[in-house]
Chain A
């Protein structure tokens, strides 16, 4: 349990700082539990247009879709909000979680016939260490610490609420974003003009 007067540490992703170096992947892949396979993924966002990149790691949703759709009940969320990797004894490798996750995080590793994903370095955080990605990240695009600390250090704001169409998802992991935005909209409708759109679906 975290003492009341001690603020909890959280994980923050600040994509504008990401330099695309893959130190997070390299370091994550060294973990003794997933040996050589990184649980964090770095995507070049638009390789032909720019040098922008962004790390993708498990956002640890408050109400995780991956766990909700798992037919084998293999994905557990701990009391402190960590959505764990699938349990080897239960996972049937069906890919439901991979399809359901709005952030594209879970991956089925065929060699093990199991879904593995980031569990926020439970082995490290439980002993007072930072997750490995947040420890090595050269630019602090991945940061681990109290929310008040990062908000006092940076101009942008920590956000953990994401709007997917009509559904709002709250996560344990925060994304640093422009202070003018309240939530990160990911529905294209939010950016489209309403004029010209048919009242009725064309097939109706």
Chain B
């Protein structure tokens, strides 16, 4: 089934996105004294800013800055300010719905919805096998929900095929961090940014994707005279005042970093003592980078020799430094390699695990950090354990009270699940907190795949473009409608407070999963979860002894300390804001590992038919697939439609003027957009933001090629041609 019951237009007419501008009850009501003010966190990006929600009559009517929360001290981006408009939004899904062909979505009872979902899970699994029913999840979910999803899929559904939307986000960084450090977390809290002398931002549009981080960078620049280097094909807002801009050609990052390392080695700007005492593998890397020459680097990356030399000199000679990277270098078929080539630069200088010396990947999603540690990653068990490791399997089986042989093995990653759905191998799907039709690459393929499913159930709070394909839609909860914890980009575990109940008949996500588990006959593994804290307490035990050890973290401790940094192995432990102090890493040999990275071309080939690089990303007004932000009037008004950024030199070649319609064509599909002519992008590259659906989705054009290790798709480099329309 899993087809649209009626036309897309009719669905959108009923379910939106509609724009909401005013608080519930209008501005008049918003001035009334709230019933309560709830200190919680923003539901959007990985910074997880503290915010106070004003509540009246079980609705969030506005916000107040939470100036006492130490990370953001009241600062917010516009998404945080306006997020409160979601709860009372007219598009909210209020009842379970069933997809009836030719009719639309009809309201059904919860009992009928659960019965159909459970019957279809059992029918498909009995007919084809357990793994032929898959689950997709997401990391806007709290740690408790992430843990619950992981246990639900393995214990109740008994499928190996559970994966999550962090597969489109943090997996290259996570894999690189594990290879190099033996642990997957930002090496420092952001406090070390304030104490540093040189900041290198590689492929991270800090100002739009992690806005509060901008202030940390500025403070280091102003108070310590820190220098800023930005590596990006675009002059993003943080780049415009940078001390050094390296406008790298998309897909050539590791060539640049290898060359910089080679120059540093030649100049003697490495910390040989640190390398000898605390790392392995340097000689192999040294030999490998010896062939990366300046002239070749300029030819490949498009960055002038002089700038590459300056970067090598600054990075080589700095006393303190902090390297930040994000999806710009990670969304590649060599995403893990790119990450490792950055880490090699950090390790070679020994500037890690000390005051003002740091390294971090900037988590994109709200709980991108905690979510990937505890639950729904196809190869991982709680505590960042490995699902293929017999000891790890044994421990988690014991915590869950199941026989280890009943614990499924490693499953497929998100894109691979979609590929198998398209191949007709996976027949059923349940998803929560994931809008793959917008966020996966090659969306024409994704649409075809969804239409092949025999049964699809979705838990969501709005009718996302993917939800339109579901047979059963179970109305779930927003961030502010459930208790829990989340782990920020810094590795700080924080508390999400419930402000209101879900509206209408909508239920907390956890409640829905628990009822399905019960109806699948697995209640005894879940019935002790009476509240979110019960789940967290089991998570603490499940994570104990793992690298992501939360055992010493309690709700009370988080509240008292405004967050606790993991690892925190026992109740007396204060938490660990800075990792790797004293040069101690998390591999069994306690050393950091250098990894040889050889530059490889991208999967999509640039040629005379497809001569232009396409790269995609975010704008500040929207979040991920836009399911939430495209419904908030203020945010949508600032950026209502996607557009194509193009340099005037390239635009002139095609006689394209500002606002002209253009068609972008790749080997997968095409899209029509308006041109925005800017001098801030390389003239061989175009940029399109990715937050929109259907005909406005740039993911009709992007490709499904994956990094062989992280399985992240190559969103940041597609070969395209453009035509004026």
List chain A positions with a Cβ less than 8 A from chain B: 16-17, 19-23, 25-27, 29-30, 32, 35-36, 47-53, 130, 132, 135-140, 153-155
Whether B677 sits at the interface, judged by CB under 8 Å, is yes
List chain B positions with a Cβ less than 8 A from chain A: 21-22, 27, 30-31, 62-63, 65, 67, 72, 74-78, 80-82, 207-208, 211-212, 214-215, 218-219, 222-223, 225, 235-241, 620-621, 634-635, 638, 658, 677-680
Residue on A with the closest CB to B65? A135
Contacting residues, chain A, for B634 (C-beta < 8 A): 25-26, 29
User: Besides the contacts A21-B207, A51-B236, A136-B74, what 19 more A-B pairs have beta carbons closer than 8 Å?
Assistant: A16-B241, A19-B207, A20-B207, A20-B237, A21-B77, A21-B208, A23-B75, A23-B80, A30-B81, A32-B27, A36-B22, A48-B658, A50-B678, A135-B65, A137-B75, A138-B72, A139-B215, A140-B75, A140-B215
> How many inter-chain residue pairs (CB < 8 Å) link A and B?
114
A22, B65: Cβ atoms under 8 Å?
no
A25, B208: Cβ atoms under 8 Å?
no
A-B contact pairs, 15 of them (CB 8 A): A21-B207, A21-B211, A25-B634, A27-B65, A36-B21, A36-B22, A48-B658, A49-B678, A51-B236, A138-B212, A139-B207, A139-B215, A140-B215, A140-B218, A153-B219
Q: A51-B236, A136-B65 are in contact. Are A19 and B74 (CB under 8 A)?
A: no
Residue on A with the closest CB to B67? A135
- Nearest first, the 6 A-B pairs at minimum CB distance are A35-B27, A19-B207, A26-B78, A138-B211, A32-B31, A26-B81
Contacting residues, chain B, for A155 (C-beta < 8 A): 222, 225
A51, B78: Cβ atoms under 8 Å?
no
B678, A48: Cβ atoms under 8 Å?
yes
- Nearest CB of B to A113, in Å: 18
Contacting residues, chain B, for A153 (C-beta < 8 A): 219, 222-223
B678, A27: Cβ atoms under 8 Å?
no
Partner of A52, one of B22, B222, B240: B240
B222, A135: Cβ atoms under 8 Å?
no
Q: Which of B67, B211, B214, B236 has the most CB of A within 10 A?
A: B214
Q: Report the Cα distance A161→B642, complex, angstroms.
A: 41
A51, B63: Cβ atoms under 8 Å?
no
Q: Report the Cα distance A48→B646, complex, angstroms.
A: 10
Partner of A17, one of B74, B218, B235, B679: B218
Contacting residues, chain B, for A22 (C-beta < 8 A): 78, 620-621, 638
Q: Report the Cα distance A182→B661, complex, angstroms.
A: 46
B680, A50: Cβ atoms under 8 Å?
yes
- Nearest CB of A to B245, in Å: 12
Contacting residues, chain B, for A130 (C-beta < 8 A): 67, 74
Partner of A51, one of B21, B211, B237: B237
Contacting residues, chain A, for B81 (C-beta < 8 A): 23, 26-27, 30, 136
Partner of A19, one of B211, B222, B235: B211
Q: Report the Cα distance A154→B215, complex, angstroms.
A: 12
Q: Which of A19, A22, A36 has the most CB of B within 10 A?
A: A19
Q: Report the Cα distance A139→B75, complex, angstroms.
A: 8
Partner of A154, one of B208, B222, B677: B222
B74, A135: Cβ atoms under 8 Å?
yes
Residue on B with the closest CB to A25? B78
A50, B679: Cβ atoms under 8 Å?
yes
Contacting residues, chain B, for A50 (C-beta < 8 A): 235, 240, 678-680
Q: Report the Cα distance A194→B638, complex, angstroms.
A: 43
- Nearest CB of B to A148, in Å: 15
Q: A26-B634, A51-B237 are in contact. Are A19 and B212 (CB under 8 A)?
A: no
Q: Report the Cα distance A137→B237, complex, angstroms.
A: 15
Residue on B with the closest CB to A27? B81
Contacting residues, chain A, for B211 (C-beta < 8 A): 19, 21, 23, 138-139
Residue on A with the closest CB to B63? A30
Partner of A30, one of B62, B75, B240, B621: B62
Contacting residues, chain B, for A19 (C-beta < 8 A): 207-208, 211, 214, 237-238, 620
Q: Report the Cα distance A7→B27, complex, angstroms.
A: 36
- Nearest CB of A to B95, in Å: 30
A32, B30: Cβ atoms under 8 Å?
yes
B218, A139: Cβ atoms under 8 Å?
yes
- Nearest CB of A to B328, in Å: 16
Residue on B with the closest CB to A21? B620
- Nearest CB of A to B552, in Å: 32
B235, A51: Cβ atoms under 8 Å?
yes
Residue on A with the closest CB to B241? A16
Contacting residues, chain A, for B222 (C-beta < 8 A): 153-155
Residue on A with the closest CB to B74? A135
Contacting residues, chain B, for A140 (C-beta < 8 A): 75, 215, 218
